[in-house]
Structure 1
Amino acid sequence: MNTFGTLFRLTTFGESHGPALGSIIDGCPAGVPLAPEQIQAALDRRRPGQSSITTARSEPDQVEILSGVFEGKTLGTPLAAIVRNTNQRSGDYEKLKAEDRPGHADAVWRERFKHRDHRGGGRTSGRETLCRVIGGAVAEAYLAQALPGLNTVAWVSQVGELVSAVPEPGLTRAQVDAHPTRCPDAGAREEMSRRILVAKEEGDSLGGCIDVRVEGLPVGLGEPIFGKLKALLAQAMGSVGAVTGVVWGPPDLLARIAQPGKAFHARKDTYGGIQGGLTNGEPVALRVFFKPPATLAEHAKGGRHDPCIMPRAVPVLEAMVSLVLADLVLQFNARPHSS
């Protein structure tokens, strides 16, 4: 299960401490304008070593496009791209050949496959998500052509017990990226940063939430029954490591669930932009829950790990949403429609 998507397909490969990681994107139509700088800009938002609140592993994450693009446009053939690992410290993981880390996939991976790459988690490492970001950048290039009014933005909405205010519509990625926490709430982000640094110093970690908002979608994207947009988004979000839950709807949806039907259905944003599994023309809204990273205590102090994964996961969730939407747009365009 290394491939995601039906018509717009992403296959990822590589390990955290191997020579390189990469992506193969198949199904992107020909003629989509795409420059290496677009993919690189997306990778730069996810790469490690961005600030004091992230892992100290320093990787340039420089993309190399091997196929599928010519004279600045996609060819419609498989697009292959890689990022070479340059800053591995595999010796840090030597004792993990025989010692499984609590909270990680080490033990279950060993039981299932009987052989694994213990260096940095191998295939289970969060570093695999850079492949998704490559795929998401290609998906967004296609969506910019197919749905020019689309705007997909994610932001950190909660760190530990600290919850931010809900931003106004029209939020941009530049506004989100203005602070290392990727929280646009000026009243909460400094305290979020402080708490993350304290956790890092203490060998502890923090979980929380990322909110995603998609504006500019037409009515009717998604497929009935098993191809509902909410089901596809749940799969996409759940495939990201450390994600522990997802809800579709406004940030206060869990509180609204206790309301009687008359009150619950009085506001259209209750549905999170999805009704009957299809987009209803309203902004699609998601809240994605992250557990605290499982690398703790001496493992955390001695290694290079994120004490809070959400700031670097923001572009990953945006990429996964874009992959889902690109696939659905292709499916929508491939089906006959009544006049």
Structure 2
Amino acid sequence: MNTFGTLFRMTTFGESHGPALGTILDGCPAGVPLTREQIQVELDRRRPGQSAITTARSEPDQVELLSGVFEGKTLGTPIAAIVRNTNQRSGDYDKLKAEDRPGHADSVWRERFKHRDHRGGGRTSGRETLCRVIGGAIAEAYLARDLPSVRTVAYVSQVGDLVAAVPPPGLTRAQVDAHATRCPDERVREEMSRRILAAKEAGDSLGGSIDVRVEGLPVGLGEPIFGKVKALIAQALGSIGAVTGVVWGPPDLLERIGQPGTVFHSVKDAYGGIQGGLANGEPLQVRAYFKPPATLMDHAKGGRHDPCIMPRAVPVLEAMVSLVIADLVLQLNARPHTL
């Protein structure tokens, strides 16, 4: 199960401390404008070592396009891209050959496969998500050509018990990226940064949430029953290792859920842009909850780990949502009646 998607298919490969990680993207139509630089922009947003509140592992994460693109346009053939690992410190993980970390996949992978790569978590490492960012960048290039109204923006909405205010419509990635926490709320983001740094120094960690907003989706996008937009996005976001819950709807949905139906259904944004499993024309809204990273105390102090994963996970969530949308658009265009 290393492939995601039906028609717009992404396969990821590689381990955290192997020679390289990469993506094979199959199903992207020919003629889509795409350059290495477009993908690199998104990888730079996810890469480690970009600020004091992230892991100290310093990787340039320079993408190499191996196939599927010629003269700045996709060929319709499989697009293969890799990122070479250059800053591994595998010795940091030697004692984990026989010692499993609580909260990680170590013990269950050992039981399931009887053999595993202990270096940095191997395939279960968050480093695998760079492959998804590559796939998402290609998906966004396709959407920019065939559905240019779509705008997908994610932001950190909570760190620990600090909750950000809901930003107004029209939020941009540039606004989100203006601060290392990737929280657009000036009221709380400095305190978020201080708490993340304090957790890092103490060998502790913090969880929270990321909100994703998609504007410009056409009414009716999605498939009935098992292909519902909310079902596919739940699968996409739930496949990210640190995600522990997904909620669709406005950011205050959990507060509204106790309201009687006459009140709940009187507000048009109550459905988070989805009705009957299909996009309803309103902005699609979804929140993903993240558990605190499970590498703690001596393991955290001795290695290079993120004390709070959300700032670097923002482009990963955007990528996974974009992959879902691109796949649904291709499926819809393959039918006799399109939007």
Per the TM alignment, residue 268 of structure 1 is displaced from its structure 2 partner at its CA by 1.0
Equivalence map 1:308-319=2 (5 Å) = 308-319=308-319
Per the TM alignment, residue 338 of structure 1 is displaced from its structure 2 partner at its CA by 8.1
Determine the structure 2 residue equivalent to 1:285. Answer: 285
Determine the structure 1 residue equivalent to 2:294. Answer: 294
Deviations 1:248-281 (A, max 9, x none): 0001000101000000001010000000000000
Q: Is the 8 A contact 2:196 2:206 kept in 1?
A: yes
Rounded to whole Å, the distance in 2 between the matches of 1:62 and 1:193 is 27
Equivalence map 1:217-256=2 (5 Å) = 217-256=217-256
Determine the structure 1 residue equivalent to 2:37. Answer: 37
Per the TM alignment, residue 70 of structure 1 is displaced from its structure 2 partner at its CA by 0.2
Task: Say which SS state the counterpart of residue 111 (structure 1) adopts.
Answer: helix
Per the TM alignment, residue 16 of structure 1 is displaced from its structure 2 partner at its CA by 0.1
Q: Is the 8 A contact 2:215 2:284 kept in 1?
A: yes
Determine the structure 2 residue equivalent to 1:90. Answer: 90
Q: Are 2:210 and 1:213 equivalent residues in the alignment?
A: no
Equivalence map 1:62-77=2 (5 Å) = 62-77=62-77
Give the aligned CA root-mean-square deviation in angstroms.
0.8
Structure 1 residues 338 and 29: CA distance shift in structure 2, 3 A:
closer
Which amino acid in the other structure matches residue 82 of structure 1? I
State the identity %: 85
Equivalence map 1:124-139=2 (5 Å) = 124-139=124-139
Deviations 1:164-208 (A, max 9, x none): 000000000000000000000011100000010111111100000
Unmatched tracts of structure 1, length 5 or more:
none
Rounded to whole Å, the distance in 1 between the matches of 2:245 and 2:270 is 18
Deviations 1:290-314 (A, max 9, x none): 0000000010011100000000000
Equivalence map 1:141-160=2 (5 Å) = 141-160=141-160
Determine the structure 1 residue equivalent to 2:119. Answer: 119
Rounded to whole Å, the distance in 1 between the matches of 2:335 and 2:254 is 36
Rounded to whole Å, the distance in 1 between the matches of 2:95 and 2:241 is 23
Task: Say which SS state the counterpart of residue 153 (structure 1) adopts.
Answer: strand
Which 4+ stretches in 1 moved above 2 angstroms? none
Determine the structure 2 residue equivalent to 1:25. Answer: 25
Task: Say which SS state the counterpart of residue 315 (structure 1) adopts.
Answer: helix
Task: Say which SS state the counterpart of residue 178 (structure 2) adopts.
Answer: coil
Determine the structure 2 residue equivalent to 1:10. Answer: 10
Which amino acid in the other structure matches residue 261 of structure 1? G
Task: Say which SS state the counterpart of residue 154 (structure 1) adopts.
Answer: strand
Q: Are 2:43 and 1:51 equivalent residues in the alignment?
A: no
Equivalence map 1:266-281=2 (5 Å) = 266-281=266-281
Structure 1 residues 107 and 273: CA distance shift in structure 2, 3 A:
same
Rounded to whole Å, the distance in 1 between the matches of 2:291 and 2:198 is 17
Rounded to whole Å, the distance in 1 between the matches of 2:291 and 2:269 is 27
Determine the structure 1 residue equivalent to 2:307. Answer: 307
Rounded to whole Å, the distance in 1 between the matches of 2:308 and 2:241 is 13
Rounded to whole Å, the distance in 2 between the matches of 1:6 and 1:338 is 17
Determine the structure 2 residue equivalent to 1:171. Answer: 171
Please, what TM-score do these two structures have when normalized by structure 1?
0.99
Q: Is the 8 A contact 2:157 2:211 kept in 1?
A: yes
Q: Is the 8 A contact 2:154 2:314 kept in 1?
A: yes
Per the TM alignment, residue 150 of structure 1 is displaced from its structure 2 partner at its CA by 1.1
Rounded to whole Å, the distance in 2 between the matches of 1:280 and 1:195 is 39
Rounded to whole Å, the distance in 1 between the matches of 2:101 and 2:260 is 45
Deviations 1:44-90 (A, max 9, x none): 00000000000000000000000000000000000000000000000
Per the TM alignment, residue 337 of structure 1 is displaced from its structure 2 partner at its CA by 1.7
Rounded to whole Å, the distance in 2 between the matches of 1:150 and 1:35 is 20
Which amino acid in the other structure matches residue 224 of structure 1? P
Rounded to whole Å, the distance in 2 between the matches of 1:108 and 1:334 is 40
Rounded to whole Å, the distance in 1 between the matches of 2:57 and 2:338 is 54
Unmatched tracts of structure 2, length 5 or more:
none
